[in-house]
Structure 1
């Protein structure tokens, strides 16, 4: 049983690592990253280290990267997991907060690609105008009066079609 568990874990690890490497390079327009099993020769007992080298920087553990670099690296890993073993829904809460506009655009480009590659529904929580402008549908919560919230929904594709028709 442990042999099969090790084989399955290593197969999944290799698949996720392959996707992670490719997605990292896409998000950073270069650089490299990989996953390492650490602290044990037995994969069932090993820890995981995320190593990343953004363009022009030295290879480092995730904890040594800037906030924006950490966010993009985490997105590459999350999407690598979803490409390996898709789930019906993925919720990302303000992953774009530490990103500048150029990196937000790259995040949104990758999100568009993921929508095309998986059957996963992506729910993105964001206050970033660039991110919101790239989404298909927006949901907002507004307070009409103290203690009374109201949900607002806008289909951006439909809104663009209405504007184009005028």
Structure 2
């Protein structure tokens, strides 16, 4: 049986009905478990931080964990980029690079709210099941982010 050809990119977006700064302050890898219901824990790994590198372990509610490396963080352009450096279980792809980018909505009916785009670019060995799972998880996480942001 051959693999199903699929795009290895995922992009999900949402308008979060909260002020930009309330949403931006939640976008720290070590704080994701404070708002993403799929995570039971997100913690900085001891000895993994240096001036150049931050590694955070995300533990999902099903017990699997991923070590996430912060690749880039911009407080000027309001985005964070991260990669998976290891997993507690076998994964069927070689790599993934994800970015969460925020935009302040400054006009129109959504003025004062926040537009969020969460992308992932997987290596070409990622199957359709991986892409669909990533899409589902991002949609769920964006809904959780909206709930957490509206509590501020």
Same-fold call, TM cutoff 0.5: no
Structure 1 length normalisation: TM-score?
0.30
Greater gyration radius: 1
Question: Greater helix share, 1 or 2?
Answer: 1
